[in-house]
Structures are given as C-alpha cells and as structure tokens.
Amino acid sequence: MYTARFKGKLLPFIFLSPTLVILVVFLYYPVIQTFILSTYRVAFLGLRKKFVGLENFVDLFQDPGYLHTLQATAVITMVIVVGGLAISLAIAMLANQNIRGASIYRILLVWPFALSPAVAGVIWLFMFSPGFGAVNYLMYLITGIELNWLGNPRLAVLLIIIASIWKNLGYNVVFYIAALQNLNTEVLEAASIDGANAWKRFWYVTFALLSPMTFFLLITNITYSFFDLFGMIDIVTKGGPLDATNVMIYNLYRDGFEYYKTGLAAAQSVILFAAVVALTLIQFRTSGRRVHYGG
C-alpha cells in the first residue's frame, strides 16, 4: 500500500487549514458559545446578560410544559424509528425481488427523501387540512366522517409520525436494498436446505446479516427524529394542538426566536445535544453487541 509522505511537518497542516478554519468558525465556536450562553439569563436581543449558573436547567426540569415536551419527543421518536425501520425493511424486501420494472419502483420509493421538509410539510398540510384536504374529502365521501387531524392532539401526533416516516422512507429503503443485494446467498440456500421456513430464514439469517446496516440506520433515524422534524412540525402543526407535537427542537426554536429566551434556548440545545450523545452511546453499548460484521 502506498502511503503519502510530506516534506516537512508544516505542509499537512497547511492543506488542512481551510477545513480546520471552517470547523472552528462554524461548528466548534458556536458549540462552545452555546454552552456558555446556557449559564446566563439574557435580556431581549442580548442587551443585558446575567450569570445564573445551572438555574436555566433547573427551571426547565421543574417546568411541567418542558417535561411534557420531553415525553412527546420520546414517544414520537420511538414510533418513528421502530416503525420507520420495520416498514422500510419490508418494502426493501419487496423491492429487491427480481421483477420487471424493479428499478422504476425503487426510484419512486426514493423521491420523498429528495423533497425538502418544507415542501413535504405543505403536501401533508393540504392533504389533511379540515374542510378542503383531499384525504378528509375522500374519507367523507366513503364513510361520511370528517376527522379534524390538525385539531385533535392524538390525530396530530399520528399525522406527524406518518408524515415523518414517509419523508425518511426512501433513505432507509435505499440502504436496506444495497445491503440485501450484498447478502451471502449461500447462507440463505443452506438454511432453506436445512428446512427453515420463510420466517426463520428472514429472522435468523437475513435480519442477522443486516445487523450492521440496521445499526447504522438506527443511529441516523434517531438523529433525524430529534432534529429534522422541525420543518414538518413548523409547517403542519406549529407544535399544537395543546403542544401535542411540541418536540424538543421546536420548543427550542420557539423559546429562542419567538419568545427571545436566549439563555433557556441555549440550555435546551445543550440538553438536546446530551440526549443524542447519550442515546448513541447506549446504542453502541447494547445494540452494537449484536452487530456482526463480515460473512
């Protein structure tokens, strides 16, 4: 294997300097400032700051509204991750069949992921809006019932979950199809010869061999559920009704940019950062043990 060698110790750092400058200015410095800001009470537009230590965090965890936000985030995230991966794997298994026009079906499955969250949100808003939504209109024609998807807390949560799973479906399906196409078919054939039925072949062979991809998608879907729901929620429900869809990332936005509680918003961003890191570490320590790489 050829290894690049630089003349002098300074040259590698010169090549890396543009990337390092961008990382420091746009990533590391804002993160450090966020941690610092979370320990301050900030007046309107930052005209005055007062150091309060951990008081912002104490206030948040004593606030019933924020505790409700944490609960809503946990429930929505769990359903999106588990439901999204299960549906994606089922569709990927079907799309991986050797049928005519399979490539066309796979392309059609991917296109929702190419949409921006704002565009996807507008599509779902128009489909489920009371009065003129296409879904409500068809449901009324068939059943005579018109549901208030945006006014009922449970229906609003269900709508956000379905829309979010649909939005990220193409991403998961593409990776699962790629993994399925690279499976060791000899193992599946051996299991079939040994008398294993279709379910056992899937659960004990296919799903086991897909564990590295499932683990990767588990982490990315958790991150998606924590951060990328903002656009969908902002367009469709605005965190309502009754804060039913007010997840952590949207509550952070409202406190920071609508109510100008900058210190509290910074504290929430630290909590969100810590939650994602903690969940990722837990996944690496638990689910990671069941991941088997290689043939």
Q: What is the per-residue pLDDT across 130-159, written as a single tens digit (0 to 9) for each? A: 777 888 888 888 888 888 888 899 999 999
- Return the H-helix or E-strand segment holding 144: none
Q: What is the DSSP letter of 101?
A: T
Determine contact, residues 73/155, Cβ cutoff 8 Å.
Answer: no
Backbone Cα Rg of the chain: 24
Residue 283 has pLDDT above 90, yes or no: no
Determine contact, residues 156/149, Cβ cutoff 8 Å.
Answer: yes
Residue 6 has pLDDT above 70, yes or no: no
Mean pLDDT of 210-232: 90
Helix boundaries (H) for the chain: 11-23, 29-37, 55-61, 64-95, 102-114, 117-128, 134-143, 153-180, 185-193, 198-200, 207-209, 211-227, 230-236, 248-253, 262-285
d(CA 253, CA 264): 11
Band of pLDDT at residue 75, cut at 50, 70 and 90: very high
What pLDDT score was predicted for residue 175? 92
CATH code of 58-290, in short, is 1.10.3720.10
CA-nearest of 239, 279, 275, 276 to 259 is: 239
d(CA 271, CA 248): 9
Average pLDDT of the chain, as a whole number? 86
Mean pLDDT of 35-55: 85
What pLDDT score was predicted for residue 9? 77
What pLDDT score was predicted for residue 291? 59
What pLDDT score was predicted for residue 69? 95
pLDDT tens track for 10-26? 887 888 899 999 999 99
What pLDDT score was predicted for residue 159? 94
Question: Tokens 């689910």, residue?
Answer: 287
The lowest-confidence range among 8-12, 158-162, 203-207 is 8-12
d(CA 131, CA 19): 51
Residue 289: CB partners within 8 Å, gap ≥ 6? none
What pLDDT score was predicted for residue 197? 78
Question: Tokens 């945006």, residue?
Answer: 150
**Cα 54 to chain center, whole Å?**
29
What pLDDT score was predicted for residue 45? 67
**Cα 92 to chain center, whole Å?**
19
